[in-house]
Structure 1
Amino acid sequence: MAPKLTLHDDRLFPADPASRDVARRIHAVTRGLPIISPHGHVPPRWLARNEHFGNPTRMLLTPDHYINRVLHANGVDLSDLGVGRGDEMTEADNRRAFRLLCEHWSDLNGTAMRYWLTDQLVGIFGVDVRPSAETSDAIYDVIAARLDEPDFRPRQLMDAFRIRFIATTDDPCDDLGPHAELAADGGFSEAHRVVPTFRPDRYLEPARPDWNELVDALGAAAGADVGTLDGYTRAMAARRQYFKDHGAVSSDHSHADLVTLVLPHDEAARLYDRARRGRASADEALALRRHLFTDQARLACEDGLVMTVHPAVARNHDADAFEHYGADVGADIPVGLEATRALQPLLNAYGNDPDFNFVIFTLDEDVYSREIAPLAAWYRSVYIGVPWWFIDAPESIMRFKREVTEMAGFSRVCGMIDDTRAFCSIPARHDMSRRLDAAHLADLVVTHRLDEDEAVEQAGALVVGNPMRIFKLDR
């Protein structure tokens, strides 16, 4: 008989009985609260068209680079998981891919991915046996049958998961058609806000070989002449406003570093002209990128979009994987980060502007306590982005909570960010965060640093109040 797969009611709670009892009571209050998801990568067309998710592999495995990177490290080819193959995957291919996941189940032991997958398999799909080569087909059939049920389409799951707000990630030139469709559906949009996020990274990188083509496309989308820096800035402002008109509340940025630079207008215009002519040196392109990035903060002060940043990732580290599969398949590696001096020009200019909210994420754990928490404890615009990507596992999240709140308090933390393409992992990730909130707050209660009623109130703020306030959803 196959070993059982179970979800323990006390998962992630403290082992100490006194703390555990408090954590249970705190989590009981927050577990039913709605999900606020201000940053993620769910395709908006899924919701606009209420698409069938296809099959278990397409839904749970192929788009989830968190899982794919672990399987790749343990000898599985990404193509065998469906990466880069799209609709060419046959039913036999999909079953084989899912079997590879089940065969490598033990390789996920101790990881956040094991936790999320167990939550999904048991809590959403009703799977009750541990994945293995022998149980793979039976689990696949259980999930496939659920996917065919009418209440298992994206919109119905938005209700089941209690997702009140979800933001997608979109290119500045996107026409946002799916978002317009969703907004026009009054019955759906009254219960759920689905909004775009302005992601201009590529358009701020003059060192990219395709930067001029991208800038031309930006100008075309905005109906603006981008031959000069002033024209480019007008185009960028127009597209930001277009996104805001379609519900956007934030812009999202990721560059190699956090260095900011405010150049005199004439110097920035000269560098822009050189970049447009293909004559900018590497140093000039870097200086212009840092200036253009900083100018996004100025634009944010004008249009009110929240600015989120998550730098310091060596993208496409595996050249062979990039050549065969392209970007965003999981072959990205964190690098070190310096924030205090890097952000000083931006924060000196805009750090206390009442219309500017600036949320900083990092993959460099040391920076949270050493730099980001102290910055957020001084500058009115600065908020602390929660652990994401490589460090959104239970242990690193608890380290984060203990290290930043003692300096900046809970009010400067943005709330949970699930950052996922795997739709069914959203409730698992948010419940994980709520359980860890309860564990952390329970520890403060039993050590007599908070009263329990304060801890309960604080837990609710972390789940709903903080993201609503920091991402300006209550305006």
Structure 2
Amino acid sequence: MKPLRLHPDRLFPAETRTRDIARALYATVSDLPIISPHGHTDPAWFAYNEPFANPSDLLIVPDHYVFRMLMSQGVALDQLGIPTVDGSPTESDPRAIWSRFAAHYHLFAGTPSRMWLDYVFTQVFGLDVRLEPATAALYYDTIDAALKTPDFRPRALFERFNIEAIATTEGPLDPLLHHKAIRESGWGVKVVTAYRPDPVMDPDDPRFIEKVKAFCAMTGEDVGSFAGYLRAHEKRRADFRAAGATSTDHGHPTAFTAHLSRPEIEALYAKVMEGPVSAAEAELFRGHMLVEMARMSIEDGMVMQLHPGVWRSHNDAVLARFGRDKGGDIPMPGEFVRALKPLLDLYGNDPRLTLILFTLDEDVYARELAPLAGHYPALKLGPPWWFHDSPEGMRRFRENVTETAGFYNTVGFNDDTRAFLSIPARHDVARRMDCGFLARLVAEHRLEEDEAFELAHALSYGLAKQAYRL
């Protein structure tokens, strides 16, 4: 068996003096509480505190980072127990799933997933040998036994991970019953929701009309009028705020915004509710609604997040058999300067609005996003997202945005994950990378050491808490 250990200097600079500075910075932030202001953990975990079923259902089946890599090397999703749209059977033996995962674990060498998983294996479950076919049974038995104990239930892990606040993400039709159960349980921790209205703002959704009708019925508003549709959003936003929400989230194909006159948007709303509409009309509707969301954010104080630039479910065969969010989402080029102009003309100078921008197109960091955030009071830059939530992605982000936007026009780190056990690992990577970046600036005499210590704390904790109003 090969040993598994996490080197204490992992991710720190190789040069001795700079590494020493990074170590000193990291020592002051390594144990700070975790602010997780945006993510996709299941609130039912925290509401009912039931044991996790088994290692495979916890660590493999829900994690598209894991199974997209395995699929790329010919492991069928059926063999990994991924549920099908039509309910047809897939592998149901969690040990068999785990064995296939272990047999292919070498595929993750050099990836963020490997770093996160090794952190979970060592720090959460105390394993000290590498995962490979020979140790697959040891891993499964160790993790499975732990999951059956009270210390590994969701609330115990939440407290063990030193999470101060976490935000889940729910859709506009969600009744928020899990969040209600959390509040009524008296647990006393900060688990809040976030409003993701995409299903009732995107006419390209195959069930858009059906969902908008349900949305307006849920809120008692007139689906036949644009005014009623807007009031439905306002009511649902109020419901989400009552469940602790401080933010909205928008996963549009692009950052396009538009400001239509009232007669124009009323006519377009009537058209999208008749369906189908052209791609241009769907984009125009989404663009106008982003402006409406910005207006509502100014009125109710909710922070606004925009996650554009993804071709969702690019693999049609996987989409048809397994549904959405199965590892087939692919980044696309982004554009923000022209796209955001209508919104920024109206609200970009209003400090009551916080619009946090994310991208999967790293080319726009220095060219567009940093100059925009370095000018408009309403704009902030979200951390490296999704495919770029990685050591090199974090390094590229800081190198590309800091000189123009500074540190304080960014919002620290958020993990944006469904994989609950990986949250401390992801935050640890971000803290180490930021400390390494700050250490280099100190070593090059571009930043005073006392400022670096202040910034390390802000990037690890303070900026996220402030930006998301947590």
TM-score normalised to structure 2 length: 0.97
Could you tell me how far 1:89 is from its partner in structure 2? 8.9
Distance in 1 (CA, whole Å) between partners of 2:217 and 2:106 is 51
Deviates more, 1:100-109 or 1:33-42: 100-109
Deviates more, 1:217-226 or 1:279-288: 279-288
Could you tell me how far 1:69 is from its partner in structure 2? 0.7
Q: How many residues align?
A: 469
Q: Is the 8 A contact 2:40 2:169 kept in 1?
A: yes
C-alpha deviations, 1:123-178, integer Å up to 9, x for none? 11111111111110111111111111211111011110000100001011211111
Is 1:333 the counterpart of 2:330 in the alignment? yes
Distance in 1 (CA, whole Å) between partners of 2:204 and 2:71 is 31
User: Where does residue 363 of structure 1 map in the other structure?
Assistant: 360
Task: Call closer, same or farther: CA 1:313–1:90 in 2, change over 3 Å.
Answer: closer
Q: Is the 8 A contact 2:64 2:325 kept in 1?
A: yes
Could you tell me how far 1:90 is from its partner in structure 2? 10
User: Where does residue 97 of structure 1 map in the other structure?
Assistant: 97
Deviates more, 1:459-468 or 1:271-280: 271-280
Is 1:317 the counterpart of 2:314 in the alignment? yes
Q: What RMSD in Å do the two structures reach over aligned CA positions?
A: 1.6
1:316 partner amino acid: S
Q: Is the 8 A contact 2:3 2:128 kept in 1?
A: yes
User: Where does residue 163 of structure 2 map in the other structure?
Assistant: 163
- Paired residue secondary structure (2:328): coil
Distance in 2 (CA, whole Å) between partners of 1:363 and 1:75 is 26
User: Where does residue 280 of structure 2 map in the other structure?
Assistant: 283
Q: Which runs of 5+ in 1 are unaligned?
A: none
Distance in 2 (CA, whole Å) between partners of 1:184 and 1:463 is 31
User: Where does residue 239 of structure 1 map in the other structure?
Assistant: 236
- Paired residue secondary structure (2:134): coil
Aligned pairs for 1:368-383 (under 5 A) are 368-383=365-380
User: Where does residue 434 of structure 2 map in the other structure?
Assistant: 437
User: Where does residue 184 of structure 1 map in the other structure?
Assistant: 184
Deviates more, 1:417-426 or 1:282-291: 282-291
Aligned pairs for 1:13-412 (under 5 A) are 13-84=12-83, 93-186=93-186, 188-189=187-188, 192-278=189-275, 280-412=277-409
Could you tell me how far 1:207 is from its partner in structure 2? 3.2
- Paired residue secondary structure (1:83): coil
1:78 partner amino acid: L
Deviates more, 1:464-473 or 1:152-161: 464-473
Could you tell me how far 1:277 is from its partner in structure 2? 2.4
Q: Is the 8 A contact 1:368 1:400 kept in 2?
A: yes
- Paired residue secondary structure (2:133): coil
Percent identity, aligned pairs only, is: 46
Distance in 2 (CA, whole Å) between partners of 1:279 and 1:397 is 41
C-alpha deviations, 1:206-242, integer Å up to 9, x for none? 2333211111111012111121111100111111111
Q: Is the 8 A contact 2:380 2:411 kept in 1?
A: yes
C-alpha deviations, 1:262-299, integer Å up to 9, x for none? 00011100111122223644433332221122211111
- Paired residue secondary structure (1:433): helix
Distance in 1 (CA, whole Å) between partners of 2:340 and 2:84 is 41
- Paired residue secondary structure (1:208): coil
Could you tell me how far 1:55 is from its partner in structure 2? 0.6
1:236 partner amino acid: H
Q: Is the 8 A contact 2:256 2:283 kept in 1?
A: no
C-alpha deviations, 1:319-377, integer Å up to 9, x for none? 11111100001111000011111001101111121221000000000111111111110
Could you tell me how far 1:85 is from its partner in structure 2? 6.1
Task: Call closer, same or farther: CA 1:354–1:309 in 2, change over 3 Å.
Answer: same
1:68 partner amino acid: F
Could you tell me how far 1:184 is from its partner in structure 2? 2.1
Q: Is the 8 A contact 1:271 1:285 kept in 2?
A: no
Could you tell me how far 1:92 is from its partner in structure 2? 7.2
Task: Call closer, same or farther: CA 1:90–1:55 in 2, change over 3 Å.
Answer: farther
- Paired residue secondary structure (1:194): strand
Task: Call closer, same or farther: CA 1:282–1:393 in 2, change over 3 Å.
Answer: closer
Distance in 1 (CA, whole Å) between partners of 2:174 and 2:255 is 26
Q: Is the 8 A contact 1:271 1:280 kept in 2?
A: no
Q: Is the 8 A contact 2:248 2:302 kept in 1?
A: yes
- Paired residue secondary structure (1:410): coil
Distance in 1 (CA, whole Å) between partners of 2:217 and 2:211 is 10
Task: Call closer, same or farther: CA 1:280–1:69 in 2, change over 3 Å.
Answer: closer
User: Where does residue 427 of structure 1 map in the other structure?
Assistant: 424
Q: Which runs of 5+ in 2 are unaligned?
A: none
C-alpha deviations, 1:90-126, integer Å up to 9, x for none? 9972111111111111110111111111111111111
